A and B are shown apart, each in its own frame.
Chain A
Amino acid sequence: WGCAQEDRGRSPQRDFHILFVPRRSLLCEQWLKEQGVLGSFIHREQYSLDLIPFDGDLLSMESESAFKECYLESDQTSLYHAAKGLMTLQALYGTIPQIFGKGECARHVANMMIRMKREFPGSQNSIFPVFDTLLLLDRNVDLLTPLATQLTYEGLIDEIYGIQNTYVKLPPEKFAPKKQGEGGKDLPTEPKKLQLNSAEELYAEIRDKNFNAVGSVLSKKAKIISAAFEERHHAKTVGEIKQFVSQLPHMQAARSSLANHTSIAELIKDITTSEDFFDNLTVEQEFMSGIDTDKVNNYIEDCIAQKHPLIKILRLVCLQSVCNSGLKQKVLDHYKREILQTYGYEHILTLNNLEKAGLLKPQTSGRNNYPTIRKTLRLWMDDVNEQNPNDISYVYSGYAPLSVRLAQLLARPGWRSIEEVLKMLPGPHFEERQQLPTGLQKKRQHGENRVTLVFFLGGVTYAEIAALRFLSQMEDGGTEYVIATTKLINGTSWIKSLMEKLEPAPF
């Protein structure tokens, strides 16, 4: 900001405008005022973006701090905006007749929605409801899933390289165009930036598959594309040639798409076949299947001793804690001591945050609920089929995301069948109905799917999205899902948002 001041001194003709996205914050303005620069901005506006469409079935608020604010600071402002986003959605797509929810935040959002509807009766519209059901889920109902390493193609890209607003930056070496006789002299140094969404046919096909099933799809595709290019030899008449040529752009796009994803798959494979990835995954799966969650884990200790990245350690110890309903005090103290001695005492602050969020805490009740939850909801499936999955557990090669299981069971046979387990999970669960104007009550035709909007309050992972898409395309599944969230996350970005910022503020 100091620069802005200086800058003006140099070029008084320059105008400064400030555009707050997604909304102006009073705090920002206060701070700007205190710095004495607020008045220098000619124009101060906000560009309200509540829910941003990321794909045909995915909306996100991209609010990084939502989880931290709601669960650490008890500041539910982002939920207010979620409710507003939902009101906008209803204005466009019709009132949602049924609202289900689990969690404190879910309850709060539902209450706000109902109240907002009451206070703005003019918003009643005559649109046939597109959504039959809204399911609001607190992230802290399922703290486990984001901690585990995702194993879908898209999930792994996010875990390893980080997908930002559907773009990913990749190491450029594998993407250098192969030119004859150049011999790799001019290797690109800029990371390769690719956009990833369902508009790309091949990507839409492989994104939600378990990574181990991607290879065969790519090789099949390679054969098809080769064959298609071979067609040019068979085109004899002008008409046939013309037809071939008209297909050419599409085929070229397909070929380039295939090349890109083959390169990405190779990059990922280098990582997934590494010893460290395997060891890490083994420990994760041990925890998730309930093995040895009550003692200090050797692999974690080794990693600390070798000073692996702190976030990796935190993910593992939090995973263990969640799978044990909290760690025994001795085990927790042991881990904390090792972490503080190895990474620095200042991390006390982060560890404190993690405890507050329920991720790394002492076991209070003396009993571990996780095995019951795991068994009742069938969270660990031994006989997982990665190539041709029959259950959502394929996204973690054995672990079925708890959140998605809840959605699945809600649709069929309903939550009454899991009352006991629901009580073990934090927060209230509830059902609300919203009145539809007469004449708009929809009667689903036989065979027509219900549409459920699942709103994850606090973040959602690509693996969970893949699992919900899997349910959508299941034969006689009965429900199609659209996903909304406050933020697209993975374990690393999620834990990072809870870490205390350790550098002194630049201001």
Chain B
Amino acid sequence: MSRARADEEEYWHSSKFRAFTFDDEDDELSQLKESKRAVNSLRDIVDDDDDDDLERVSWSGEPVGSISWSIKETASSSTSSLEGRDSGLQKGSSSYAAFPKQVSSYSLSSLFKGRNKLPSFQSLSDALSDTGVKNYAPELRRPKAEYKDYSSDWSPKDTVRRMQRGKVCSLERFRSLQDKLVLLDEAVAGHDGNVITAVLIFLKRTLRREILFRELEVRQVALCHLIHFLKEAGEQKLLLDLLRFLDRTEEVALSQYREHLNIQDVEKRREFLKGCIGLPFSAEDTSHIQDHYTLLERQIIIEANDRHLETAGQSEIFRKYPRKASILNMPLVTTLFYSCFYHYTEAEGTFSSPTNLKKTFKIPDKQYVLTALAARAKLRAWDDVDALFTTKNWLGYTKKKAPIGFHRVVEILQRNNAPVQVLEEYVRLVEDVETRLNLATKYKCHDVVIETYKDLKDRIQLTAYKCKVERGSAEEEKINSILNNMQIRWKN
């Protein structure tokens, strides 16, 4: 009994909405009677100095022997006992012997609730402040109407009104389903989200799930509120049940999928994702979830393998370029880059080969080439880069082409400090003349500039370009010989 009382007391202080306990409302009345008795006996020594605050009846600041002093004593002891109890509850120890005493002190201090200027609620815990500047007013000075809470009936409408104004309200009196629904409808009509949520919490606790769901199905606003609340409160299971009941299957799927973010352990996450595959996602999303699972599965294998290789110290690439991070949970393209970096030459059969990744995840050519290029360029493997773009046509001639513009290739090569000869080769392949000239000039690919101006038959530009090349260099000579070439029909 004392334990229930202790819980009740704690909740009493911490929430303006009372918990449903096995105790009846009569308990509150007896508490109140006790308080009234206590105050009556103290009335003689009440000190009544007003301070500058018009609204309050304040005690003098003097702590000695006065009510405020005894309150402070109570407050500090009850604060520490609260602590004690908190930790006590957590440790499961049962040092509840002190509680019956505490009950009355709470009642005593509950008399002296501070009233604040700001529109607020009354809380019993107000009384526990011991800053010394706090002002207290005896509960009895409150208009009698305040006490109606405890024993009379507020209609649902009035209850909602009071809650909107932040006042203490017990919802326990609404026992029948009918009453509860009326209360909910009133709350919804009042539009205050906080109140709606409060009522929903009460209903969630006191109604059977099926009934709650059924009633909410026809009350859209309340339903949305509950869903939002469950999401925020992290009540995943109830949320999913509700969504399933409403047949909002895609939302169920996504909601469940979202949970994977909370799973840190990779193996567990992989298992979880596997379980997500069968969920009712949209067709497109299903393939993405499948890919997510497959990717993580691969990453786990690759990670284990590579970690082994790294520690064994035999593999050159891992020695030269030690890994900065694990590949787990990285996006697909990042994984592809990693694979092109560390496992480029592997055959399609292995899980870590780039071609395997490309095939499994249907990576488009464009993306593949870009990623492979970036990886090989970083390793300064110019031959590999070359091979990426070289294709043999049916006559056996090789020619270079790319699913991306060659200007992009040049950019990536340049970013990786490719030597000029390599750059030049690809600048030459840029189709758009203006872009080609821009890039060639920017990256000092003199030969390309010269050739292009020659093709354009632009004598003026070619002459002007002479000053950009070194005196006496091969390029200068080349320019001169072209300029002197009588056979060219110059444009200008």
Chain A contact residues, CB within 8 Å of chain B: 5, 8-9, 12, 15, 17, 23-27, 29-33, 36-48, 69, 73-80, 83, 112, 301-302, 305, 307, 333, 336-338, 340-346, 348-349, 352, 500, 502-505
Contact = CB atoms under 8 A, between A and B. Distances in A.
A48 B292 contact: no
B295 A27 contact: no
Contacts of B123: 43-44
Contacts of B261: 346, 502-504
A37 B125 CA distance: 13
Interface in B61-84: 79-80, 82-83
B80 A45 contact: no
A340 B11 CA distance: 46
Contact of A75 (B79, B131, B228, B285): B228
Given A46-B118, A504-B261, A345 B125 contact: no
Interface residues of B, number: 70
B232 A39 contact: no
27 contacts: A5-B86, A12-B80, A17-B129, A26-B197, A26-B198, A26-B201, A39-B125, A42-B129, A43-B123, A46-B166, A48-B118, A69-B228, A73-B231, A75-B224, A77-B193, A80-B193, A112-B191, A305-B370, A340-B291, A343-B331, A344-B329, A345-B289, A345-B291, A345-B332, A346-B261, A346-B292, A504-B264
A17 B123 CA distance: 13
B262 interface: yes
Interface string B197-229: 110010000000000000000001100110111
Contact of A29 (B10, B15, B80, B82): B15
Residue in B89, B128, B285, B288 whose Cβ sees the most chain A Cβ within 10 Å: B288
B284 A336 contact: yes
Contact of A348 (B82, B90, B254): B254
Interface string B115-136: 0101111010110111100000
A97 to B, nearest CB: 23
B13 interface: yes
A124 B103 CA distance: 47
Given A45-B120, A77-B193, A40 B83 contact: yes
A15 B130 contact: yes
Interface in B291-349: 291-292, 295, 329-333
Given A26-B201, A336-B284, A352-B254, A77 B194 contact: yes
In the A-B complex, list the 6 residue pairs whose CB atoms are closest, starting with the nearest.
Answer: A77-B193, A38-B14, A345-B292, A74-B224, A344-B331, A341-B332
B257 A349 contact: yes
Residue in A48, A80, A338 whose Cβ sees the most chain B Cβ within 10 Å: A80
A342 B332 contact: yes
B194 A25 contact: yes
A36 B191 contact: no
B327 to A, nearest CB: 13
A26 B194 contact: yes
B154 interface: no
B435 interface: no
Contacts, number: 154
Nearest to A504: B262
Contact of B125 (A42, A112, A341, A500): A42
B33 to A, nearest CB: 24
Contacts of B264: 504
B367 interface: yes
Nearest to A305: B370
Contacts of A302: 408
Interface of B: 10-11, 13-15, 79-80, 82-83, 86-87, 89-90, 116, 118-121, 123, 125-126, 128-131, 166, 191-194, 196-198, 201, 220-221, 224-225, 227-229, 231-234, 254, 257-258, 260-262, 264, 284-285, 288-289, 291-292, 295, 329-333, 361, 363, 366-367, 370, 408
A44 B192 CA distance: 20
A338 B331 CA distance: 11
Contact of B14 (A32, A48, A502): A32
Contacts of B220: 74
B288 A305 contact: no
Given A24-B121, A305-B366, 5 more contacts: A27-B229, A301-B366, A341-B331, A345-B292, A349-B254
Nearest to B404: A305
Contacts of A46: 118, 120, 166
Given A36-B90, A112-B191, A342-B331, A75 B14 contact: no
A300 B131 CA distance: 60
Nearest to B291: A345
A11 to B, nearest CB: 11
B367 A341 contact: yes
B192 A80 contact: yes
A341 B361 contact: yes
Residue in A73, A79, A338, A500 whose Cβ sees the most chain B Cβ within 10 Å: A73
Contacts of B227: 73
B285 A348 contact: yes
Contacts of A504: 261-262, 264
A75 B225 contact: yes
Contacts of A39: 10, 13-14, 82, 86, 125
A505 B234 contact: yes
A33 B14 contact: yes
A437 B41 CA distance: 54
A69 B197 CA distance: 14
Contacts of B125: 39, 41-44
Given A26-B201, A33-B11, A75-B228, A333 B361 contact: no
A348 B257 contact: yes
Nearest to A112: B191
Contacts of B329: 344
B89 A48 contact: no
Residue in A349, A352, A500 whose Cβ sees the most chain B Cβ within 10 Å: A352
Residue in B193, B229, B370 whose Cβ sees the most chain A Cβ within 10 Å: B193
Contacts of A23: 194
Nearest to B293: A345
A348 B284 CA distance: 10
Nearest to B19: A33
B285 A29 contact: no
Contacts of B14: 29, 32-33, 38-39
Nearest to B197: A26
Residue in A15, A305, A343 whose Cβ sees the most chain B Cβ within 10 Å: A305
Contact of B333 (A73, A333, A342): A342
B275 to A, nearest CB: 15
Contacts of A24: 121, 166, 194
Contacts of B367: 305, 338, 341
Nearest to A29: B15
A301 B366 CA distance: 10
A23 B197 CA distance: 14
Nearest to B190: A80
A9 B91 CA distance: 14
